[in-house]
Every structure is written in structure tokens, then in C-alpha cells.
Amino acid sequence: MSVSNDNEVYFRRSLRRVFIAILCICLFAIFLVWRIDNPRAERFRMAVIDRIMPNVEWAMAPVTRASRMLSDFQSYSRIYEQNQELRRELQQMKAWREAAIQLEQENARLLDLNNVKLNPELTYTTGVVLTDAGSPFRQSSLINIGRRDGVKDGWAAMDGLGLVGRVSGVGENTSRVLFLTDSSSRIPVEVAPSGQRAILAGDNSPLPPLEFVDTVDQVRAGDRVFTTGDGGVFPPGLLAGTVFIGGDGRLRVKLSADYRRLEFLRIIRFRPTAPIAEPGRLVGPTLPTDANQ
Amino acid sequence: MTEVNLTRLWLARFIFVAIGVSFVLWQIIPFDLTAGRLPWPDLFYCLTMAYVVRRPEWAPVWGIFLAFFLRDILTMAPLGLFTLAIVLGSEVVRVNVQAFREYSFALEWLWMTAIFAIIIVSQHIILGLMLAQTPRFVEQLWLVLLTAIAYPATVFVLKYAFGFSRPQPGEYDGLGNRI
């Protein structure tokens, strides 16, 4: 009795060992596939997330809401100072608003005089932030609009004020926005008054550095950073942030978007203008070709 | 052998996986999306290891696989790498579970921290060798430190709120075998 029992225990133990070995080999194979055929693996991941997220949204929404309320509640303790601060800012803003209205009117008049056509295709669609990446591997988040709503890879995402990132990975009902702070994000930008071109390169820190600046001397702290249309990915002229000189003397960008309280994201619909592929031709009647001679 | 309550056993396993999934969902709630903030301690790792030492039959290897693989998918981590590490790590503990039960708690704590540090460092090295993107090493060090601090807290909660104590010799485990 005891011998057969021992045999059985031994058998089960070796069966288990084989199972664990197979599991480990499968996991390592999955990791290798992820590394070798990354786009396909990421598409698989996006498809899985697309299936899961709409089903658990109802469970997460109250928790998200409650935690936001809690963090808002914490700020009640400073409500008096905040109120004073807001009043002062409002006063300043009123002055700016007056100036902006005057400038807008002047601008409209001038545009009208010159008969300028602005790009009418720059419309946007808005999505709600569902999740955070939750790990230090990626700075990104999931939003609740996807292919169904016409979202395409590469479109720019903004909060009310500044650029947040770009769409990278679209599912049927959800899509992923890769932030400017992610270490694989590279955006061509222009620094405002001096017109210097540069690349805004994310490095997983809250203040991404500016790289490949034409003339570093002409860039000052506080200059505004906009996207350029270079590469045909982003529409030109979206505000990204202001220049900031880091402790190590590198030029960095203080992003205008408030990443601490991202709740809604604007996805900018953008179709780049048709590229001019060939040089201009002679206008006139078609000439007889050489074959007819 | 005593009679095994199968319903109870499977319920306990199901609860383990459910707790794991809820931890993952908690992790991806968008609280603060700024880069470079302090990472949360890996509470699910602490929970898994505490389970494996105290009630290994309630944290089966397939449950660990399911929950951690889901986490890899949802948190944009490299697919399967952390899951592989945790399956191997938990097996090492499971095979030597008698030794772990006889250790003092301080020694158990030290071991769990060491295993987590080995997992994180080897993950960093493997990703580096594969020329994949690695997170910043400073953040990973913070993760190890915070997880090390969180382990005793997890064990404390499990022990005093849910009655998980280390099985004493002579007790029966969930599968009905004498320890």
C-alpha cells in the first residue's frame, strides 16, 4: 500500500515538473516572439485589451471617480489660499483676454484683406482616459475611442492646452496614446520666437529634453515650443510647452499638458496635404512623342 | 489523509486569482500620468510569495501564470518575461517550502527581497541583451526597495486580518496531506 502510494506521489511530482518546464519554455517562446515580431505581438496585446477593457470599465469607473474625489478633497484644506490665488490669476487673465480679443479681431481683418484660407481639416474628436500603463516600461494611457470612431495611428492627442502625445495602437473600441515623456517618443518641434528646429525626445522623465537644436544660443528659457509639420505626422503649430534649462544645463521642455489630471484627450484628425512628387511640367498642348517620328 | 473539502479549495484558488486581477486593475487606474514618479510597490508579488509559503495549494502555478500574464498584457510590459521570472521564483520557494517555514520571519523577508531583486536585475539584463527598451534603473531600484518594505505589511495583513499563519508540523494542508 505504502509502496504504491510512494510511486503515485513520485509520478505526480515528475508530471508536475514536466508541466512547469513546458510552461517556462512556452513563456520564454512568447517573450522571444514579442521581441522578434514586435508589431504583431503588440497588435495581439491591443486586441486582448480591446476585448477586456470595455467589460471591466464598469468596475473601474467608480474606483477612479472615488480616488479623484479623494485627491480633490485633500486640496480643500488649502481652499482659502487657492481662492486668493485664483482671484489674482483671473484678474491677470482678464487683461490678457482683452488683448487677445483685440488681436483676434485685428488678425481676422488682416486675414480677410489677404484672402487667406486656413486649413479647415483640423477637427478633433474627444476620448476619456481609461487606464494608465501602470508600469515603468511605457508612458502611455488607454482611451475609449478607436477604429470605430475613425481614429488612426499617429494622430496627435492634446488636453485642453498642450500636446500630450500621439496615438500608437488602435483597437476596435479603444486606442493607446503614447506620451511625449515616453522614451520612444520623438517629435519634430520649432522653438517659437527664434524659429529653431529641434527634436523633442522623451526619456521617461517629466521634462523631456530638446535634441538636435540648430543654434543652442538662440534658445532661451521660457520660449514656447510648437510642433512643425515635418514628417507629415502632426499638424504644425500645436503647443507642446515652454523651454526650461535643466540642472545639468540641457535644454528641456516643460510640457503644457497637465499629466497629473488627464481625464479627457482631444484626438486631432489630420490628413497631410498631398505631397508634390514631381517637378513642374511645361504647360501647353501635348507634344508629339519620339515614337511617331 | 483527512477528507478534502474540494469546494473550499477551489474557492480559495479562485479568490487568489481574483485578488490578483483586482490588483492589476488597481495598478492601471489613471491616478497621475506624469513620468518619473515613484513606482508603487509590487504588492501582488508580496501576496503571491506570502501565499506560497503559507498556503501553497491555494496559489497554484497556473493561477500565478494567469494573473501575472494578464498583468504583462495590461501594463505594456514585455510579454511573458516577468511571468516566467515569477513562475520560476515561486517554484524555487515551493520546492523548498519546508525550509522557508522553519526560517525566522526576518530571514524569509530577506529571501523574498533577494528573489525580487534577482528577478528585476535579470529582467533588466535580459532586456538589455535583447536590445529592447529598459525602464530607468533608478526607478527599478525604488521598486525593489518599496516592495521590500511592503512585504512585512502584506504578511501582517494576511496573518491578522485573514488568519494566514505558517502551518505547524502535524497540520493538514488543503490537499489533505500531513505536513
**Structure-model confidence comparison of residues A139 and A118, the more confident one:** A139
User: Who among A30, A141, A183 is closest to B30 (CB)?
Assistant: A141
The shortest C-alpha distance from B159 to chain A (Å) reads 26
Which residues in chain A touch residue B136, judged by CB atoms under 8 angstroms apart? 136, 204-205
Using 50, 70 and 90 to split pLDDT, how confident is the model at A273? low
Contact by Cβ (8 Å): A53, A130: yes
Which site among A20, A31, A140 would you substitute to test the B interface, given the most B Cβ atoms closer than 10 Å to its Cβ? A31
The answer to whether ipTM exceeds 0.90 is no
Q: Say whether pLDDT at A76 is over 80.
A: no
Q: Say whether pLDDT at A52 is over 80.
A: yes
pLDDT < 50: residue spans in chain B? 1
User: Who among B34, B83, B87 is closest to A259 (CB)?
Assistant: B34
Q: Where are the alpha helices (DSSP H) in chain B?
A: 6-27, 43-54, 61-74, 81-95, 97-102, 105-129, 137-162
User: What is the predicted pLDDT for the residue at B2?
Assistant: 54
Lowest average pLDDT, out of A165-169, A275-279, A287-291, goes to A287-291
Q: Say whether pLDDT at A23 is over 90.
A: yes
Q: Say whether pLDDT at A218 is over 50.
A: yes
**Structure-model confidence comparison of residues A73 and A32, the more confident one:** A32
User: What is the predicted pLDDT for the residue at B1?
Assistant: 46
Cross-strand partners of A211: A199
- Minimum CA–CA partner of A169 in chain B: B76
Q: Say whether pLDDT at A120 is over 60.
A: no
Residues 6+ apart with CB under 8 A from B38: B142, B146
**% of chain A at pLDDT higher than 70:** 92
Mean pLDDT, chain A, rounded, equals: 84
User: What is the predicted pLDDT for the residue at B90?
Assistant: 93
Asked if the Cβ–Cβ distance from B139 to A136 is below 8 Å, we say yes
Q: Say whether pLDDT at A96 is over 60.
A: yes
Which residues in chain B touch residue A260, judged by CB atoms under 8 angstroms apart? 32-34
Q: CA-based angle B63:B60:B79, to the nearest 5?
A: 40
User: Who among A23, A41, A260 is closest to B32 (CB)?
Assistant: A260
User: What is the predicted pLDDT for the residue at B115?
Assistant: 94
Which residues in chain A touch residue B133, judged by CB atoms under 8 angstroms apart? 137, 183-184
How far apart CA B25 and CA A63 sit, in angstroms, is 10
- Minimum CA–CA partner of A61 in chain B: B29
A to B CB pairs, distance under 8 Å: 128
pTM confidence score: 0.77
Which residues in chain A touch residue B80, judged by CB atoms under 8 angstroms apart? 27-28, 30-31, 34
How far apart CA B102 and CA B123 sit, in angstroms, is 30
User: Who among A56, A59, A132 is closest to B33 (CB)?
Assistant: A132
